[in-house]
Structure 1
Amino acid sequence: MTQTSRRPSQAGPPHSPAKLARVRTVAQDAMRGARWWTLLDLERTLRADTEFWRDLWAPSLAIAAQKVGLKNARSRLDEAIEAGFHQIDLFEPELSNAFGTDPDWALVLERARTNVPRPALRLTAWPEPGPAAPLRLDRAEAHREPQLLPRLPRPAAGAWETAKALLGWTAGLWRHANARINAGDALDVLEQVANGARYSCVEYSIVLAQGLNALRIPARRVWLRRGDYHDGVGQGHAVAEAWIDDLDQWVLLDGQHGAYWADEHARPLSLPELQARERPARPVHVGPRAPMRDPGLWAAYFAHASVTGIAWEPAGFVPVFQDGQVLATERLVRDSAEAYPRLSDLAVGVTALDGVPAVELKPVHPFAIGGTWDGEMIVVQGPQGKRRFARALDRDPGEHRADIAAVTPYGPLASRELRWTAA
């Protein structure tokens, strides 16, 4: 029998995964090596390979059959398209070379294109954190923070009430003096104060920022400077700022005066908001200290600022302070927005839960303890006991939405919307 008269083998279906794997390898090598009859001899066996018959073997065998001149060579391709095959491009230009002159080839291609199914799931809207420089908080060292915590006022139910209580407590610890501890953390300051020491605004800012972080309120120190701070005296002031969960914003806090600043509607203000104001804001005192004698004088310190880890200056940064001290900063930017991430933001990832698609919440907030999905807490234990905040997506046909949020020890943060469709 000549080669052109050969017919596909009648070999039976594979009987084991190992045999199927060997057959697949032989078939792939035959296709790559243009050994068409070797491939055709495996047709009966390859038809039993339900995983790959429609999308791989049927179009490959159609090409092989055309190459050796078998009648009805395209029937294998037609069969595959009837079963849902649509990946014509994976076999080009071989398919068009084999069947492109057929009168109905354009219709064949159109039939294949219409076979592309709708995705079973498609995420259509999800939250993304805004751009910002890496956040660095001002915290006591990890082994020192548990020692600091018992010295602080007990936290209230909400972050704002907790922050105000700590602000007032800090202001009442000692009477201001210009002495500096020059080293150490909040514990060192508190221990020295207990022995009668008095310190400057710098030490108030240390106690306040590190105390807030120990209470799981993100905080950092702030260095304020008057307009021409590179010369003169009294050109700087140290305060703190905190992200307040229940206000969904940053707020500037002055530990020396036991005060924050508010707008005309009594809303607490952040440092960038204070810098942008044309008129001084109203200081609100919560501690035992007497009110600021000249709020306008203190407002002049908002002219220039830097925070833990970052400084910003739209018009150019002067790196020297009044006494020749270098104003070191880890990162220098022009826009203060880069220094103020919105800590209620969420990123989302896609993962698998029990083999089905799921969305994993990735909070920006450094003290997040979980997430909510339409108000329901979600925490999934991952490898090595690592907590993940994930939930499987509803796959019922139609459009779906969920309100997702990070959760801190003070409760859920502002929610974000997630949308998806299922076919």
Structure 2
Amino acid sequence: MTAPRPAKLARVRTVAQDAMRGGRWWTLLDLEPTLRADTEYWRDLWAPSLAIAASKVGLPDARSRLDEAIAAGFHQIDLFEPELTAAFGTDPAWPGLLDSARANVPGPPLRLTVWPEPGPTAPLRLNRIAAPRETQLRARLPAPSASAWQTAKELLAWTCARWRHANARINAGDALDILEQVALGARYSCVEYSIVLAQGLNALRIPARKADLRRGDYHDGVGKGHAVAEAWIDDLDRWVLLDGQHGTYWVDEESRPLSLPELQAREHPARPVSVGPRDGIKDVELWAAYFQYASVTGSAWAPKGFVPVFQGGTVIETERLLHDSAEAYPRLSDLAIAITQVEGAPGIRLVPEHPYAAGGVMDGRPSPSAAWPLDQTEGDHRANLAASTPYGVLTERELRWTAT
């Protein structure tokens, strides 16, 4: 049967729909030759509609029309109720016809069963220099190494070597301002080390933020705080605390670099590791006491109650106050997936948590757009997904789907 021209088909569809709604059954039946050529809607719309119309006007082949619709795969009985039951409900074969129609429902062509999803955390806030100045800052820094961890350690040592600690503070500015003043002979406190280190790491595409540490009873007295930085290290798949003033990071008994929450949870002080040009931390107990309370760029946490006053009057400002430090520590190798169309077929696109992700990999196949079509070959499928950064491919996450 020759398919009608699109313009004619659109007009016929409108007339047929109006006839069905208005109960003009003969008008609908007169359109049958054209409606049969409408392959897009014949099975699901016009075949059952014509069966109802034939029943309404008393045509003897009404039931055979319904049989034809079901044989063609019609199954959306509910769309035509109560008309279908009114037309054919008294037929002894009606229960069997319903069963046949329901059996026509095909399985879904594609079903995703396992996919990655990030854990719930507060929004990530990094300590970055203003975008127009980031290129200038990067030009002052040591060239990055192949791995994020090696790059972070080299920048930690470099930062520590810029000046000798003093209690002076720069009233305003960023890492570039600090480095320019240091070049003129200025010396600054732990705060300025943490700013240079955190902003420098971000300039090298290592997510980093400033962390403020506080001893117990920090609301009164002096010397109750210390500023450091922390960074997400791609090749370690974890956050690591970095002390720019001392050129130091801390490790556990297996020499694994530690994060701030891990340091807070320890019963005994961790071992400091110095990579800077100076002696690093000598009094381990003294400096371990600073891990009692903390906040980071964007968040602060206090499981048993938060004291917002520091050393007699300074207000500890934070954008988000949390109970659990875990909420401030997203796992930046995590990712979500978006469903999209790739090459005309269902596909997935990675939505990385990592702020410097630059593409992705699916079973070893890289894609700058981090998007791939899903294999629709019948059966069960599995793939490993990972975001990629300038330092390599992050930890893999599993995706599973079934095609029928």
When normalised by structure 2's length, the TM-score is 0.98
Question: Which stretches of structure 1, 4 residues or more, deviate above 6 A after TM superposition?
Answer: none
Match of 2:293 among 286, 304, 308: 304
Q: SS of the residue aligned with 1:144?
A: helix
SS at match of 2:310: coil
Equivalent in the alignment of 1:256: 245
1:2-81 to structure 2, matched below 5 A, reads 15-81=4-70
Which residue number in structure 2 is paired with residue 414 of structure 1? 395
CA contact (8 A) 2:4 2:37 kept: no
User: Structure 1: how far apart are the matches of 2:389 and 2:48?
Assistant: 56
d(CA) in 1 for partners of 2:265, 2:138: 35
Deviation sequence 1:324-346 (CA, Å, 0-9, x none): 01111111111111111110011
Partner of 2:272: 283
Whole-angstrom distance in 2 between the partners of 1:355 and 1:144: 42
The alignment covers a number of residue pairs equal to 404
- Contiguous gaps of at least 5 residues in structure 2: none
Alignment match of 1:404 (pick from 363, 385, 390): 385
Amino acid at match of 2:162: L
Matched, 1:143 2:135: no
Deviation at 1:15, TM superposition (A): 3.4
Does 2:103 match 1:103? no
What letter corresponds to residue 142 of structure 2 in structure 1? P
Partner of 2:234: 245
Deviation, structure 1 residue 244: 0.1
> Hey, what does 1:194 align to over in structure 2?
183
Distance 1:87 1:15 in 2: 25
Corresponding residue for 1:333? 322
Q: Whole-Å Cα distance in 1 between the matches of residues 307 and 66 of structure 2?
A: 73
Take 2:32 and 2:330, find their aligned partners in 1: how far apart are those partners? 61
Amino acid in structure 2 at the alignment position of 1:261:
W
SS in structure 2 of the partner of residue 143 of structure 1: helix
Contact 2:4–2:34 (Cα < 8 Å) also in 1 = no
Greater shift in the superposed pair: 395-404 or 261-270: 395-404
Separation of aligned partners in 2, 1:249 and 1:14 = 61
Q: 1:156-185, CA deviations, whole angstroms, 9 ceiling, x for partnerless residues? A: 110000000000111111110000002100
Aligned partners of 1:277 and 1:230: how far apart in 2? 23
* Distance apart, 1:354 and its partner CA: 2.2
Matches within 5 A, 1:115-134: 115-134=104-123
One-letter amino acid of the counterpart of residue 339, structure 1: A
Per-residue deviation at 1:89? Answer: 1.3
Q: Cα deviation per residue 1:350-400 (whole Å; 9 max; x = unaligned)?
A: 111221111111111000111001122112xxxxxxxx3101111111111
- The answer (yes or no) to whether the contact 1:406–1:412 under 8 Å persists in 2 is yes
Q: Please tell me the residue identity of whatever aligns with 1:284.
A: V
What's 1:269 paired with?
258
Letter of the 1:105 counterpart: W
2:76 corresponds to: 87
Larger deviation: 285-294 or 328-337?
285-294
Query: Deviation at 1:72?
Result: 2.3
Structure 1 unaligned residues grouped into runs of 5+: 1-11, 380-387
* CA positional deviation for 1:323: 3.2
**Alignment check: 8 A CA contact 1:13 1:44 kept:** no
CA RMSD of aligned residues (A): 1.1
Answer yes or no: is 1:222 the counterpart of 2:203.
Answer: no
Q: Is the 8 A contact 1:13 1:46 kept in 2?
A: no
Paired with 1:20 and 1:263, the residues of 2 have a C-alpha distance of 74
Structure 2 match to 1:384: none
